[in-house]
């Protein structure tokens, strides 16, 4: 097989990462973006490796049963969504099978339950992160990255995001242009505005805005914040985050308040929460309610202590700990820990304590002081549990571990370690937290 060769291929199944797998006549695996299971297509080979190749669709010869017309005009150009050309039911079947395939080598695929999701696949996201880049004409450009690049596809709406986010974002863009805020140039490190971040709560109808800048200078920043809140009455918090590093990481260490409150209010799972606009919060409110329902079902009989690792603002631990004796949370982001303490005061009558710092450093030091611990909740970042955290969890007295993962491949890796430490997987529930993309949330219940 050679680069540039044209093949007729039939897609077999979608895989984690967004491509579909097809096989050449010789049996070579070919990964093809924007293909749907069952599609027959003419494909040009773009990359060849020893055991696999990658191709690009030239023509759909016959569509598979799950292929639909992508509803977004930017699909295929914008890199935000990978599966808009696949029906929602087809996406969910693919995601469930991806989780089972990852668990199969461990002999755990029979533990995977049916995937659960919300009512639809559009308008669900509650957060918008909009890159701002310097255009060739010197004017800022606003949009999303083209697939596999940092080139901007300019747009002023997105079908998967709550429309309220863009109502606010368009007002911010108008102000940025009026005040002459320059877009950031990644190559030179020159420019003012790097990202516009907007959060919206459908439950409280409040929104928060974070302007991510390359330096402390933001001319008329407070005046712009006041005008934004006057025009968009649902905006209750406007903040500036300073990120002077030459990095792909979006947020920097320093955040200052430009107008309103340093937080916004959120309602979720019967809890009333405060959360900083830039803080992590589950992206899909409808599916988050499903997640909290499952979590409560799994932890309803816990009368001992609950340890919430990577706790953020405390949502998962507070939802699970209604019948528990105490709750301890660990979170690296100090601003989130402040929110967690405030949220515990508002929502819980049990003894709570929250600690700021890396889980891998704090947990081993406090493990001996967690007598009476019954349940551990872990909601780590995409990279999963670090070896030090896995070792510390294995030494805890907890009989139950509830693991919430946003990457099923790292979950499968961690399950292998946890099973070797005496845990048994009782159930894994995939959640369609991110329709139109290949991303999958998985909840796993382990006991010992």
For residue 28, the model assigns a pLDDT of 95
Given 122, 311, 406, 421, the catalytic residue: 406
Tell whether 31 and 111 lie within a shared domain.
no
What is the token pair recorded at 302?
A: 């816990």
Tell whether 106 and 150 lie within a shared domain.
no
Q: Which among 65, 117, 119 has a CA at the least distance from the CA of 95?
A: 117
For residue 89, the model assigns a pLDDT of 97
Rounded distance, CA 339 to CA 14, Å? 39
Residues 6 or more apart whose CB falls under 8 angstroms from that of 118 comprise 124, 284, 286, 287, 290, 432, 435
Asked if the structure places residue 212 within a domain, the reply is yes
pTM of the predicted model, to two decimals?
0.94
DSSP for 384-439, please give it.
---HHHHHHHHTS--SEEEEEES-HHHHHHHHHHHHHTT-EEEEEEEEE-STTSS-
Q: Which residues, listed in sequence order, are joined to residue 130 by a DSSP beta bridge?
A: 196
Tell whether 390 and 305 lie within a shared domain.
yes
The sign one gets for the Cα dihedral 157, 159, 162, 163 is positive
Tell whether 157 and 191 lie within a shared domain.
yes
For residue 281, the model assigns a pLDDT of 92
One-letter-per-residue 3-state SS of 290-312: HHHHHHHHHHCCCCCEEEEECCC
Rounded to 5 degrees, what are φ and ψ at 389?
-70, -45
Rounded distance, CA 437 to CA 221, Å? 35
Tell whether 207 and 329 lie within a shared domain.
no
H-helix or E-strand spanning residue 61 = strand 52-62
Tell whether 321 and 434 lie within a shared domain.
yes
Tell whether 226 and 356 lie within a shared domain.
no
Q: At 104, is the secondary structure helix, strand, or coil? A: helix
For residue 73, the model assigns a pLDDT of 93
Q: Which residue range forms the structural domain that includes residue 289?
A: 100-119+283-447
CB 232 within 8 A of CB 200: no
Residue 258 belongs to a domain with what CATH number?
2.40.50.1070
- Would you give per-residue pLDDT tens digits along the chain (448 residues)? 899 999 999 999 999 999 999 999 999 999 999 999 999 999 999 999 999 999 999 999 999 999 999 999 999 899 999 999 999 999 999 999 999 999 999 999 999 999 999 998 999 999 999 999 998 887 899 999 998 888 999 998 999 999 999 999 999 999 999 999 999 999 899 999 999 999 999 999 999 999 999 999 999 999 999 999 999 999 999 999 999 999 989 999 999 999 999 999 999 999 999 999 999 999 999 999 999 999 999 999 999 999 999 999 999 999 999 999 999 999 999 999 999 999 999 998 999 999 999 999 999 999 989 989 999 999 999 999 999 999 999 999 999 999 999 999 999 999 999 999 999 999 999 999 999 999 999 999 999 9
CB 281 within 8 A of CB 304: no
Rounded distance, CA 318 to CA 314, Å? 6
Tell whether 104 and 132 lie within a shared domain.
no
For residue 136, the model assigns a pLDDT of 82
In the annotation, is 158 catalytic? no
Tell whether 434 and 288 lie within a shared domain.
yes
Rounded to 5 degrees, what are φ and ψ at 325?
-80, -35
Asked if the structure places residue 1 within a domain, the reply is no
Q: At what angle do helices 221-231 and 163-179 cross, to 10 degrees?
A: 140
For residue 100, the model assigns a pLDDT of 98
Domain count, the chain: 3
Asked if the structure places residue 278 within a domain, the reply is no
User: Which long-range contacts does 178-183 make (Cβ < 8 Å, 24+ apart)?
Assistant: 179/219, 179/220, 179/224, 180/219, 181/140, 181/218, 181/219, 182/134, 182/138, 182/140, 183/132, 183/133, 183/134, 183/135, 183/139, 183/140, 183/141, 183/142
Tell whether 299 and 234 lie within a shared domain.
no
Asked if the structure places residue 295 within a domain, the reply is yes
Rounded distance, CA 447 to CA 375, Å? 9
For residue 2, the model assigns a pLDDT of 92
């Amino acid at each position: 097989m050679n680069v540039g060769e044209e093949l007729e291929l039939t897609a077999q199944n979608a895989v984690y990462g967004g491509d579909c797998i097809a096989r050449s006549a010789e049996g070579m695996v070919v990964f093809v973006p924007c293909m749907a299971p069952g599609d027959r297509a003419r494909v040009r080979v773009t990359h060849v490796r020893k055991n696999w190749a990658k191709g690009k669709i030239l023509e759909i010869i016959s569509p598979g049963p799950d292929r639909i017309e992508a509803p977004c005009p930017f699909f295929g150009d914008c890199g935000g969504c990978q599966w808009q050309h696949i029906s929602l039911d087809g996406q969910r079947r693919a995601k469930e099978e991806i989780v089972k395939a990852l668990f199969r080598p461990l002999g755990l695929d029979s533990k995977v339950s049916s995937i659960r999701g919300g009512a639809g696949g559009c308008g669900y996201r509650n957060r918008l992160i909009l890159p701002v880049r310097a255009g060739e004409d010197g004017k800022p450009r606003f949009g999303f990255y083209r697939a596999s690049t940092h080139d901007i596809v300019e747009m002023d709406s997105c079908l998967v995001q709550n429309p309220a986010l863009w109502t606010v974002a368009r007002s911010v863009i108008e102000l940025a242009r009026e005040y002459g805020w320059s877009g950031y140039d990644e190559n030179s490190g020159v420019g003012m505005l790097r990202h516009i971040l907007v959060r919206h709560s459908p439950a409280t109808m409040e929104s928060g805005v974070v302007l991510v800048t390359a330096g402390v200078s933001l001319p008329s920043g407070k005046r712009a914040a006041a005008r934004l809140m006057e025009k968009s009455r649902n905006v209750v918090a406007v903040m500036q985050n300073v990120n002077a590093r030459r990095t792909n990481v979006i947020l920097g260490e320093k955040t200052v308040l430009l107008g309103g409150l340093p937080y916004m209010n959120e309602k979720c799972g019967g809890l009333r929460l405060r959360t900083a606009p830039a803080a992590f919060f589950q992206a899909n409110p409808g599916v988050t309610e499903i997640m909290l329902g499952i979590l409560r079902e799994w932890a309803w009989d816990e009368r001992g202590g609950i340890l919430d690792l990577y706790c953020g603002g405390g949502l998962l631990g507070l939802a699970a700990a209604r019948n528990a004796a105490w709750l301890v949370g660990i979170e690296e982001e100090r601003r989130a820990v402040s929110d967690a303490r405030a949220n515990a005061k508002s929502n819980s009558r049990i003894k709570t304590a929250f600690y700021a710092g890396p889980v891998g450093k704090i947990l081993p030091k406090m493990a001996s002081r967690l007598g009476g611990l019954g349940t551990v909740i872990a909601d780590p970042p995409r990279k999963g549990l670090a070896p030090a955290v896995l070792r510390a969890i294995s030494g805890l007295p907890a009989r139950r571990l509830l693991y919430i993962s946003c990457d099923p491949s790292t979950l499968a890796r961690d399950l292998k370690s946890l099973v070797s430490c005496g845990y048994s997987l009782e159930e894994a529930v995939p959640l369609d937290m991110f329709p139109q993309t290949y991303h999958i949330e998985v909840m796993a219940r382990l006991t010992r």
